[in-house]
């Protein structure tokens, strides 16, 4: 089964206060956009290369968790062959001495944009093991992630992948989890992840996990997304703003005509980012110079988007290493 995790933009982002738990209360509107990764999950047969040998058990007992039948098999001797399957584990003599066999639950492969870091820190892998704790019968799987959405860019690409992995595993293996339950799991992966369970325009508060669906239809517009390949750390971003309560809530501003947003709908992270990285401000100016009705940085940056009338021809000139994408809304 294949799904296509989409990205989001923030329409306004106010940081209201810092909480006692170290997180920040915020308000924003999450809006889904058609810029997609691809994520596939298939059941995988157990083969010899999926078995890990460690040296902390006796030769008389090798425990293997059978992910096919949700039971624990105990064998006194194990014969490993090149065509070992999940269905056939041969109880026979072996030369194993003081070794234990365990089964890797997930094999992750990737393509597209390079993904930094270990697989164990990938939110898709974390999503699998998060569900595996409560649903131990989840089988061995192979997961492939084709990465298109820029990472660390304020577009929520990693969060989308993790949330879509939860939904995909739920649907593929009939876990029968409700949206509310999936949201609770998603919050354990990250503050942005719950949005992608609903994946509809939402006014969000708290850490971003308290969501209220809103009627906001921007299908008459097209979006230009520009990422200058600048990484802005979340810690740096929060460290350069002063939380405050705005004079007018984003929830009120968002229902005003879009041509009024320019002076009202603000991302608190944007100005400090522009001060430190002038290229971000240059992108925003370029988008406005070419007819954008509204432009803003999304999330903590560094991606900037512009909203244009649908059908308008837009000729932009950015350096070749910039990521530039024209998109419609995700419907």
Catalytic residue among 126, 161, 167, 192: 192
Q: What's the per-residue H, E or C state across the chain?
A: CEECCEEEEEEEEEEEEECCCCCEEEEEEEEEEEEECEEEEEECCCCHHHEEEECCCCCCCEEEEECCCCEEEEECCECCCCCCCCCCCCECCCCCCCCEEEECCEEEEEEECCCCCCHHHCHHHHHHHHHHHHCCCCCCEEEEEEECCCCCCCCCHHHHHHHHHHHHHHHHCCCCCCHHHHHHHHHHHCCCHHHHHHCCCEEEECCCCEEEECCCCCCCEEEEEEECCCCCCHHHHHHCCCCCCCCCCHHHHCCCCHHHHHHCCCECCHHHHHHHCHHHHHHHHHHHHCCCCEEEECCCCCCEEEEEECCCCCCCCCCCCCEEEEECECC
Assess whether 279 carries a catalytic annotation. Answer: no
Rounded to whole angstroms, how far apart are CA atoms 305 and 297?
6
Assess whether 132 carries a catalytic annotation. Answer: no
Rounded to whole angstroms, how far apart are CA atoms 28 and 202?
8
Catalytic residue among 8, 147, 167, 284: 8
Catalytic residue list? 8, 192
């Amino acid at each position: 089964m294949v799904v296509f995790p989409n990205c989001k933009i923030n329409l306004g982002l106010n940081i209201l206060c810092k909480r006692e738990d170290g997180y920040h209360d915020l308000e924003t509107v999450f809006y889904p956009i058609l810029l997609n990764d691809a994520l596939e999950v298939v059941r995988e047969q157990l083969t010899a290369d999926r078995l890990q040998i460690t040296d902390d058990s006796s030769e008389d007992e090798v425990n293997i968790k059978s992910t096919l039948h949700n039971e624990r098999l105990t064998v006194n001797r194990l014969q490993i062959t090149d065509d070992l399957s999940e269905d056939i584990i041969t109880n026979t003599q072996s030369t194993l001495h003081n070794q234990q066999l365990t089964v890797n639950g997930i094999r992750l492969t990737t393509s597209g944009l390079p993904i930094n870091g270990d697989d164990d820190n990938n939110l898709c892998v974390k999503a699998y093991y998060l569900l595996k704790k409560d649903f131990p019968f989840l089988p061995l799987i192979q997961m492939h992630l084709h990465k298109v959405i820029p990472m660390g860019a304020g577009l929520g690409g990693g969060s989308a992948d993790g949330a879509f992995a939860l939904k995909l595993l739920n649907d593929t293996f009939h876990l029968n989890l409700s949206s509310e339950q999936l949201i609770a799991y998603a919050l354990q992966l990250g503050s942005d992840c719950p949005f992608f369970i609903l994946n509809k325009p939402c006014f969000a508060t708290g850490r971003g996990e308290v969501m209220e669906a809103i009627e906001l239809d921007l299908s008459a517009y097209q979006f230009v997304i520009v990422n200058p390949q600048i990484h802005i750390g979340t810690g740096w971003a929060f460290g350069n703003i002063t939380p405050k309560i705005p004079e007018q809530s984003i929830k009120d501003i968002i229902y005003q005509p879009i041509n009024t947003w320019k002076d009202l709908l603000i991302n608190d992270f944007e100005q400090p980012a522009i001060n430190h990285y002038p290229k971000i401000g240059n992108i925003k100016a370029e988008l406005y110079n070419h007819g954008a009705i509204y432009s803003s940085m999304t999330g903590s940056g560094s991606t900037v988007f512009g909203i244009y009338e649908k059908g308008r021809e837009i000729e932009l000139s950015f350096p070749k290493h910039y990521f530039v994408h024209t998109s419609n809304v995700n419907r």
